[in-house]
Amino acid sequence: MQPLEAGEPTTIGPYRLLGRLGAGGMGRVYLGRSAGGRTVAVKVVHPHFALDEEFRARFRREVEAARRVGAAWTAPVLDADADASVPWVATGYVAGPSLSEAVGERGALRVLPDHSVRVLGAGLGEALAAVHALGLVHRDVKPSNVLLALDGPRLIDFGIARATDGTASLTSTGVSIGSPGYMAPEQILGKGVTGASDVFSLGAVLAYAATGSAPFTGDSSAALLYQVVHTEPEVALPGGDLREVILDCLAKEPSARPAPAEVARRLAPGGAAGLVAAGWLPGPLVEQVSRSAVRLLDLEPSPAPEASGPVPFSKPGVFGPPDPTYGAPAVHASEEPADRQPAAAETAPPPGKLSVSVSAATTQGDNGRGRKVSCTLALAVASAVAAVTLGSVLVFNMLPDNNGDNDGGAGGKQSSRPPAATQSSSPSAEPSTPDGALSEIPERYLGTWQGKAQALGGLLPAGTVEVKVKQADVGKQLGTASMTDELGASTCTDILILQSVTDKELIAVGKAKNKKDARCTKNDHIVRLTPVGDDLQYSSENPDGGDPSARLSKVG
């Protein structure tokens, strides 16, 4: 969980917010607390959906349906407001990591043990059986929508994915709801989605849990979708009933897949509850969940703001499918960024109440369909400046300033962001040789490192930085530094060229890997890595990117 940043709300509906849990293609998720003390997860949809009346109608209908689920192994829908300026929904908070956070190269475990996978499959099978009995289909069963709690697994995110399907803002670009690699073939081909589609996704989730890898892989979304439709899954498990259940779920033909209740029966004949009661999570996850629960008890809501108002963008934006400011990588089959992005906020306010105002005019698009343009968005749900900042690699001068060409919106005001550092953004081509310089990179620096970055001297969140360091000579590539924005929508990568290294500091020159990407800075800049305990302190002398810095922990 991340703390609330400047521009984010402290209150949504009747809930006081404690922090930000995450973000995705549908919206942002916050941890909140009711007046009675109940902890909830509050999801606020992305503002462009607020413009679409069809979306609002679907959202209202699907949330009402999701309220009826109330099954074991799901997070209950407690509250919602489809008529708010930006719709939101509150569900019961589940104290536990998602499957994607717990398993894999970046998780606490590489794979879940066989017993845990069986409980996971049985619990999710029972949950889907209850959901399908109500005539509902989840449509987006994937590792990030599965939470691992001490009292059993939970399937989350009902009522939003389905609500977005078919809205004008999505179908205008042919986007389909689902996650590449976990969508059923018929879902990809547009042949209709039934409960059997959820079973296919369940099989892919269980394969991921048991092996640490999705059963279908590809270098791009298009390649991945092709693999799902035309190739057989790869499930690196020894023969046995668990592997058979997974492969049966992954059958290409919907009619060949087992029903969710059958999946649950085959994996746990006596039901999931008995296995959960006996303890189902391995030790490292039990410890992780316990620590998180203890931290949760100490959280206090942010104080209510004295006043809260809209945050104007500096110029009108164009609303439609998620753009790099609001989108997320794994929820849409089409991941092409929008042609235009809303400019940054004039001044980021302190956290406040959610406030959105929209005005739109409709013009005729090239394809003869109406298109919403000239929309003015006022949103205090996330720092608008931070949302378009990718730290060392996003073009920071996209934001209006006193020397830029952007007009700052109504009244022609300019952005009040702090001036960039005066350091040169073109490092010297001649590497310096500091005292104590070494001929090779010490083991201390090698590996893969990750951490949350901040720009402008810590004023703005800048997403996640990942640095990979391998052995290299001076003047040669030692690895890469990648920045992913706060919503996980865009990543820019620098090639790192070793300049010098000592026991106390590694200095490299960062060079943009893709200089054609307009979202990324193109200038060469100095990158420093400094050992701090077991971590590395990362800093980039790149004014165009806001001179980002981050504390990095080793992840590989």
**Cβ atoms of 137 and 187 closer than 8 Å:** no
pLDDT at 257 over 50: yes
Query: Residue 299 pLDDT > 90, yes or no?
Result: no
Q: Which residue has the higher pLDDT, 506 or 364?
A: 506
Question: Mean pLDDT score of the chain, rounded to an integer?
Answer: 74
User: Nearest Cα to 63, choosing from 166, 163, 131, 156?
Assistant: 163
- Whether 189 and 201 have beta carbons less than 8 Å apart is answered as no
Q: Identify the pLDDT of residue 399.
A: 32
Q: Is 140 a catalytic residue?
A: yes
Tens-digit pLDDT profile for residues 479-494:
999 988 755 556 889 9
Q: What is the pLDDT of residue 487?
A: 53
Q: Is 60's pLDDT higher than 80?
A: yes
- The per-residue pLDDT for range 82-102, each reduced to its tens digit, is 888 888 999 989 988 999 999
Annotated binding site: which residue ranges?
43
Q: Where are the domains of the chain?
A: 388-556
- Looking at residue 463, the DSSP 8-state letter turns out to be E
What would the CATH number be for the domain defined by 388-556?
2.40.128
Q: What is the mean pLDDT of residues 252-280?
A: 95
14-23, 160-169, 431-440, range with the lowest pLDDT: 160-169
The Cα angle at residue 26 between residues 20 and 29, in degrees rounded to 5: 15
Contact 540, 549 (CB under 8 A): yes
pLDDT at 164 over 80: no
* pLDDT tens per residue across span 433-448: 677 788 899 999 999 9
List 79, 81, 83, 140, catalytic entry:
140
Is pLDDT at 373 greater than 70 in this prediction?
no
Which helix (H) or strand (E) is 538 found in, with range?
Answer: strand 535-541
Which comes out higher in pLDDT, residue 466 or 86? 466
**190 phi-psi bin (left φ>0, alpha ψ -120 to 50, beta other):** left
Judge whether residue 496 has pLDDT over 80: yes
Mean predicted confidence (pLDDT) in 354-380: 30
User: Across-strand partners of 148?
Assistant: 153
Between CA 63 and CA 388 the distance in angstroms is 31
Q: What percent of the chain has pLDDT over 90?
A: 38
Residues paired with residue 30 on neighbouring β-strands, in sequence order? 20, 42
What amino acid is encoded at 254 in this protein? P
Binding residues for ATP: 43
